[in-house]
Amino acid sequence: MHEIFIQTEEQRAILDTVSRFVDDEIRPRSAELDANQDPEESFSWEIIEAADKLGLRTMTLSEDYGGLGADSLTTAMVVEELAKGDLGISVVLAQTLKLAQIMEKALNDEQKERVLDKFIGDPRCCLAIGITEPDNASNYFLPYPSPFRTTAEKSEGGWIVNGMKHFISNGNRSGFYLLFVQTEKGVGLAEGSTCFLLERDRDGFTIGHVHDKMGERLANNAELVFQDCFIPDENVVGEVGKGFSVLAKFFPQSNAYAGASITGVAEACYAKAEEWAKIRVQGGKPLIEHDGIRAQLAEMRMLIDASRSYIHRACWLADNQEHGWDETLGALPKAMASQAAWKIATWTLEIHGGHGYMKEFGVEKLVRDAAAFLHSDGVNRTLFLKAANFMYGMPDYE
């Protein structure tokens, strides 16, 4: 299992490229974009197009489909590096990279032919996944036996979808979606839902409200609204009624990618805290020469290293499941990394004293960003319950 403890030469070369991209394209623009009042104006196609030129939008597709064939471990490294520059950009690309990787595995040959060429050829084509709806969120993570409210009724040659999803990352910015919808009445969402491939231009599908997020603002989140939207049979992914098998089978590294994004924010906080501790003098010497501060910086370092190791192990095992993948790795690494990032962000604020509270020092944005993954990709407490259900079985719920 040595692969997860060292960076290969190829990974180092990719990360050097990403690091330059972060310095040239993201850092100079991130604060200004973040400050826009209108969430849609915080999104930058220029940055996504520049990422595309470097292959960062499509790198998880195999070379046969025009990608770089990046494995999950390399992808997590890239996602973390991007988030050191800005969490939102990391999330736009992480969602797209994750879903491209899943689509290549989960779509049938005819669907891949229809979708992947268009995806690779359009530098603005992002990808999204629609599961969460106002009444069903932690419910599907655990899962409780309630049905999705977004339903599909069978009609000739396809399905008529009605309902809505919310909080969807890239919801208003994507060319293709994986959408999870209730197709069978009288059973819960785990037994009666189906995964559909959805194209942006389908009649009856519109984008609703674009959410005004606290942080991660360079990524957009939106509602997906369905009013008698016809989706043809050819767009069923996997089998009807087996949407949750698609989730279970093809999403093992999703949680770890979320953890990698938030670890990038933790790194950015740590760098800022260390820099400030070196220049700020109190008590006659720089903060970094005071024991309390030095110990806190070392604790930050420990939390980042431990989170990253957990994430890398989950990614490597997701791709090499025969070596001991276990389902808790699909729930816990993000919970650990986001708790660590939140602690590190608040400590960074503390180390900056009053300066941290003033927007011009840049800590305030990092604190808002650091909160993002306490809830996104599953609320942490819900993920602990999910892991416990794997460990001890699911209790009976009525």
Ligand X SMILES: Cc1cc2nc3c(=O)[nH]c(=O)nc-3n(C[C@H](O)[C@H](O)[C@H](O)COP(=O)(O)OP(=O)(O)OC[C@H]3O[C@@H](n4cnc5c(N)ncnc54)[C@H](O)[C@@H]3O)c2cc1C
| Positions in the binding site for ligand X (CB under 6 A) | 128-132, 137-138, 141, 167-169, 213, 216, 221, 372, 375-379, 381-382, 385
Distance, CA of 210 to CA of 218 (rounded, Å):
13
- Supply the minimum distance, in Å, between the C-beta of residue 264 and ligand X: 15
Residue whose C-beta lies closest to ligand X:
137
Distance, CA of 238 to CA of 98 (rounded, Å):
18
- Supply the minimum distance, in Å, between the C-beta of residue 151 and ligand X: 16
Burial class (CB in 10 A: 0-12, 13-18, 19+), 63: exposed
For 79-210, strand residue ranges (E) read 126-130, 151-155, 158-169, 174-182, 193-199, 205-210
Task: Compare residues 168 and 229 and give the one whose CB is closer to ligand X.
Answer: 168
Length of the chain: 398
Task: Compare residues 188 and 356 and give the one whose CB is closer to ligand X.
Answer: 188
- Supply the minimum distance, in Å, between the C-beta of residue 91 and ligand X: 8
- Supply the minimum distance, in Å, between the C-beta of residue 341 and ligand X: 14
Helix (H) / strand (E) containing 281:
strand 281-282
Distance, CA of 8 to CA of 68 (rounded, Å):
15
- Supply the minimum distance, in Å, between the C-beta of residue 384 and ligand X: 8
Distance, CA of 96 to CA of 356 (rounded, Å):
33
Task: Compare residues 338 and 376 and give the one whose CB is closer to ligand X.
Answer: 376
Task: Compare residues 207 and 379 and give the one whose CB is closer to ligand X.
Answer: 379
CA end-to-end span of the chain:
43
- Supply the minimum distance, in Å, between the C-beta of residue 375 and ligand X: 5
Structure tokens at 136: 């069903």
Task: Compare residues 30 and 376 and give the one whose CB is closer to ligand X.
Answer: 376
Task: Compare residues 340 and 383 and give the one whose CB is closer to ligand X.
Answer: 383
Angle formed at CA 72 by CA 125 and CA 102, multiple of 5 degrees: 50
